[in-house]
Amino acid sequence: MYRGALQAILSELVRQDRLLVLDTFEIGTPKTSELLAKLVQLNFENGLIVTAEVDENLFLATRNVPNVYALDVGGLDPVSLVAADKVIMTVEAVKKIEEWLG
């Protein structure tokens, strides 16, 4: 049931054009200003960022940004996906989710 819920939620995010898949999403330093600059370029105000592996700089930078959260694939859950207005995922994260759900 858990896998089915994730599949349904991801399908709905795609259908509503709320899922953005990027090759990579990295920031060089754990600075909130660097993260905000990148989010402005993507027109991303609030939501969830999902990466394949833990990115310490990204996680530290998101702590100070209200309504923006970062998770790795291991920490992904249906509640986080449903609560997010928009979701950014890396290609590697999508591949790991596909392997896990497939």
pLDDT in tens, the chain (102 residues): 888 899 999 999 999 999 999 999 999 999 999 999 999 999 999 999 999 999 999 999 999 999 999 999 999 999 999 999 999 999 999 999 999 887
Model confidence, pTM: 0.94
* Nearest alpha carbon to residue 22 among 45, 42, 8: 42
Rounded Cα gap, residues 34 and 19, in angstroms: 22
The reported pLDDT for the residue numbered 2 is 83
Element (H, E) at 48: strand 47-51
List of residues 6+ apart from 54 with CB closer than 8 A: 72
The reported pLDDT for the residue numbered 20 is 97
